[in-house]
Amino acid sequence: MGIALGELARRLGGVLHGDPDCMVTSVATLQNAGHGAITFLANGRYRKYLPATQASAVILGADDEEASPTATITVSNPYAAYAQAATILCPLPFPEPGVHPGVVIGDACNIDETACIGPNCIIESGVTISAGVSLGGGCFIGRDSFIGAGSRLHAGVVICHGARIGARVLVHPGAVIGSDGFGLAEDGGKWLKVPQLGGVCIGDDVEIGAGTTIDRGTLEDTVIENGVKLDNQIQVAHNVHIGAHTAIAGCVGISGSVRIGEHCRIGGGAGIVGHLQITDNVTITGMTLVTTSITVPGVYSSGIAAQENASWNRNCVRLRQLDTLARRVQVLEQKLAGKG
Amino acid sequence: MGIALGELARRLGGVLHGDPDCMVTSVATLQNAGHGAITFLANGRYRKYLPATQASAVILGADDEEASPTATITVSNPYAAYAQAATILCPLPFPEPGVHPGVVIGDACNIDETACIGPNCIIESGVTISAGVSLGGGCFIGRDSFIGAGSRLHAGVVICHGARIGARVLVHPGAVIGSDGFGLAEDGGKWLKVPQLGGVCIGDDVEIGAGTTIDRGTLEDTVIENGVKLDNQIQVAHNVHIGAHTAIAGCVGISGSVRIGEHCRIGGGAGIVGHLQITDNVTITGMTLVTTSITVPGVYSSGIAAQENASWNRNCVRLRQLDTLARRVQVLEQKLAGKG
Amino acid sequence: MGIALGELARRLGGVLHGDPDCMVTSVATLQNAGHGAITFLANGRYRKYLPATQASAVILGADDEEASPTATITVSNPYAAYAQAATILCPLPFPEPGVHPGVVIGDACNIDETACIGPNCIIESGVTISAGVSLGGGCFIGRDSFIGAGSRLHAGVVICHGARIGARVLVHPGAVIGSDGFGLAEDGGKWLKVPQLGGVCIGDDVEIGAGTTIDRGTLEDTVIENGVKLDNQIQVAHNVHIGAHTAIAGCVGISGSVRIGEHCRIGGGAGIVGHLQITDNVTITGMTLVTTSITVPGVYSSGIAAQENASWNRNCVRLRQLDTLARRVQVLEQKLAGKG
């Protein structure tokens, strides 16, 4: 168990300064790493811990090489290299293939023999479970769904009927994929339900956080493209389309029919109004409300930083009268101009 | 399978222009409908797709009738008529009545023989399950709860003890009804739990989204009246009362003892401070914070639209000094008045 | 059944005015209490109901004593005393010890014989379940987790592998503890997963609301200290540290590596940016965004109160130009000063 630094440096595409035969067996933080551990420096905030680290080796960028008291693997992207090193040193324990006794399986399912189906799972009819899939305890897979090769659903995930999940998708506990969208037609003061007849299509290499909900489409599919990463407690409404490699932090709400481009980053607690389009490479900061389409890549915000309460309240009172204040300034300008 | 246009027009209360014997068998969007499908035009945003639609018929309003290249059913409310048509053409598959083997059922339960209880459900003692109820896989129904006729709980719903769910209620996966409210009494710097002894009462024809949580009352009931529609990931705290036919979008947080009127509409991500009253027919837009009771019907907001980040940051700095700015304007006004 | 007022007053440390032998058997609100019930007055909002209460006794502060039409127990903290009284009069029904048939239990588990393990629970290998623990139906306890004495997990709770839960912890349905944090390293436009190798450590007497998610740490532990109270649908990211006796309301999002002090109070829907430190005794009001560390105890805000929509929109337009407005005021000031 463990890997020699020479071999690790080779796999990370980095340059080793130190003994290539030195074995590392674990990963740890700069502060807490001990003998046999490899650590990393990717955020300047932690640079102060480098000189005293007890690690056997550090993954870092060229600028930090000299300050290291121990072996280094120098790379251009220390955080990505660390992620690879941690994946090599601490691989996820993969459950044994097989179907736990007592699992409920419907008719006409196609369950690969290399899949692992945990206790108390419910698999409805017509489901395909591909090679190397792992379902944690108590998952529910609705009829006619498809789970692609190597995907891993943790305990208590609900996949509704007809959902298509790609390969190597990771879904955390309590996530719900394919629930009905919020489709309502007003009819004389009451609400008629609009049947939600579309599906959900999740690409490859997608990660879906705990408690995140992704609704099925109304007539066509809700689509999450390859490589999208969704944190916990995100709400994705019906007919949303999220482009490849976009990452979205926790507690974001995305309204119906929103189309988000590729390589976007959306901060925690942001909200996006329905039917908008957001182009590629857009960053939206935390708790921002997006009310119009964004056609130019860049960073967008409307979150307000906290302030001591008494000051904030005074400012808020003025904010509620801001239009009037602006008009008063205009009057002053006119008066002064008149006098000029 | 399918319905003749003449019969469909009759059931929708609309006027048919076209062959009454033409059969439609599916629903689709204007853009993607093919032969045998009926579609609809209810939102001007999609009007451009009408002339080229391949649908066999279109549900629309009188103003759009002439632009249709195919048969039309003209109605006053196309979206509501479409909802009805889709419900007729694509009825939900209703599970076979019966109790799945292995379901755990406590003492003194009353389970109607027309109900369908899915695999791995847990029904505690004293529960009533009415006619035509459907429980998806792995639902939990706490002791002494009541589920009204025709209600449908999807997989993984938790109903805590003593909850009363009305008729034709639809609950999506992962929703929790009747969890303890957040009742705490401070006592010397620590928190004492206030027992949550009330219940939850959900009316008829309510829809509750995936991951939504509705707490039980402290001493009396949390009440959701008939026809209320709740989207995903809404938090309804203890002792809240939501009036009939109010619709609430995803990620809204409603604090304890709030009373919301009938026919209100609350946008996604809004928050309502505890103990407030909101009258009937109030609309609250997305990400608004409600801090005082609302006694006049109308539209209320405090969400701020996103702006390019650098501009926003400059404006935010000024916002934090807005009270001072307003005082400076006042001084200028006084000076100018003195000079006037 | 019930308790005599004299005995109750003694246990609450209060002063009884009334018959010490009078029995009370239930708790209720001032408005709805009847004979045999004890009620309380802790919030001035409800004072108007005191003169007409039908309760057998009222827990209140000295100032309200004279206005009571019935027996009183006078205490310094009526709400805390009420919480104690309700706990005495309405104790939670404790499930019978024992493991429900069909529960799945892995190897090398240590399950105390006084614990109650509900139907359909899944307990992986190496788990310790301490004395008096109660697991509701369908809970999942990942391998090598530890659940401390007297803790109670309601239905459908997921505890991921290696989590440590203290004593007398209360977890509501659908909560997820120990899910992977959102750790991503960008690598050429794609995201590499950073293995989440830390754990979660929950102290004693913690309460965790329905649908709340607490991620495991990346390398070290996410820590929730003793006596912390978390409401529903809170997101706690990896490596967060929450100090003892802090209370957090629903829908709050706490980003990674945030450190919150002791005795803090965080209002609903607030958001805290990653890596910040918040000192002890800080109050953050609802829907506030915290973007910098808070080093001084006090109250902090950035939530904006709702306003009638048309006025709000006008103000918002000005807010987007606020920096320009401030510069215009500065110009006016300079002009007037020049003229002074």
At B128-174, the pLDDT tens digits run 999 999 999 999 999 999 999 999 999 999 999 999 999 999 999 99
Q: What is the CATH number that goes with domain B99-300?
A: 2.160.10.10
Q: What is the CATH number that goes with domain A3-89?
A: 3.40.1390.10
Residue recorded with tokens 């899949």 = A115
What pLDDT, on a 0 to 100 scale, did the predictor assign at position C131?
97
What pLDDT, on a 0 to 100 scale, did the predictor assign at position B339?
61
* Rounded-to-integer distance, Cα B78 and Cα C67, Å: 60
Is-contact C284 C301, C-beta < 8 A? yes
Looking at residue A105, its amino acid is: I
* Rounded-to-integer distance, Cα B146 and Cα B163, Å: 6
- Which C residues 193-232 touch A at CB under 8 Å? 193-195, 197, 211, 213, 215, 219-220
What pLDDT, on a 0 to 100 scale, did the predictor assign at position C60?
97
CB-CB neighbors (< 8 A) of A235 in chain B: 211, 231-233, 250-251, 268
Using a CB–CB cutoff of 8 Å, tell me whether B317 touches chain A: no
What pLDDT, on a 0 to 100 scale, did the predictor assign at position B338?
79
Is-contact A17 A37, C-beta < 8 A? no
Mean pLDDT of A144-153: 98
With bands split at pLDDT 50, 70 and 90, how would you rate the model's confidence at A339? Answer: low
In the residue annotation, B245 being an active-site residue is answered as no
Q: What interhelical angle do C322-339 and A322-339 show, nearest 10?
A: 30
Q: According to the 3-state scheme, what is the secondary structure of chain A?
A: CCEEHHHHHHHHCCEEECCCCCEECEECCCCCCCCCEEEECCCHHHHHHCCCCCCCEEEECHHHHHHCCCEEEECCCHHHHHHHHHHHHCCCCCCCCEECCCCEECCCCEECCCCEECCCCEECCCCEECCCCEECCCCEECCCCEECCCCEECCCCEECCCCEECCCCEECCCCEEEECCCCEEEECCEEEECCCCCCEEECCCCEECCCCEEECCCCCCEEECCCCEECCCCEECCCCEECCCCEECCCCEECCCCEECCCCEECCCCEECCCCEECCCEEECCCCEECCCECCCEEEECCCECEEHHHHHHHHHHHCCHHHHHHHHHHHHHHHHHHC
With bands split at pLDDT 50, 70 and 90, how would you rate the model's confidence at B35? Answer: very high
What pLDDT, on a 0 to 100 scale, did the predictor assign at position C313?
97
* Rounded-to-integer distance, Cα C311 and Cα C313, Å: 5
> Two tokens at A65?
């090489």
With bands split at pLDDT 50, 70 and 90, how would you rate the model's confidence at A115? Answer: very high
Q: What percentage of residues in chain A have a pLDDT greater than 90?
A: 96
Residue recorded with tokens 């001035």 = C44
Give me the total of CB pairs closer than 8 Å, taking one residue from chain A and one from chain B: 227
C-beta atoms of A176 and B211 within 8 A: yes
C-beta atoms of A318 and B322 within 8 A: yes
**Per-residue pLDDT tens digits of chain C, which is 340 residues long:** 799 999 999 999 999 999 999 999 999 999 999 999 999 999 998 999 999 999 999 999 999 999 999 999 999 999 999 999 999 999 887 789 999 998 999 999 999 999 999 999 999 999 999 999 999 999 999 999 999 999 999 999 999 999 999 999 999 999 999 999 999 999 999 999 999 999 999 999 999 999 999 999 999 999 999 999 999 999 999 999 999 999 999 999 999 999 999 999 999 999 999 999 999 999 999 999 999 999 999 999 999 999 999 999 999 999 999 999 999 999 999 998 876 4
Mean pLDDT of B225-244: 98
Nearest 5°: phi and psi at B301? -150, 155
Mean pLDDT of B22-35: 96
ipTM: 0.96
Helix (H) or strand (E) segment spanning residue B316: helix B309-319
- Which A residues 108-167 touch B at CB under 8 Å? 120, 122, 124, 138, 140, 142, 156, 158, 160
Is-contact C72 C16, C-beta < 8 A? yes
* Rounded-to-integer distance, Cα C196 and Cα A154, Å: 14
What pLDDT, on a 0 to 100 scale, did the predictor assign at position C11?
97
Domain boundaries defined on chain C: 3-89, 99-300, 309-334
Q: If you count them, how many residues does chain A have?
A: 340
DSSP state of C125: T
Mean pLDDT of B66-82: 97
Q: What is the CATH number that goes with domain A98-300?
A: 2.160.10.10
What pLDDT, on a 0 to 100 scale, did the predictor assign at position A312?
97
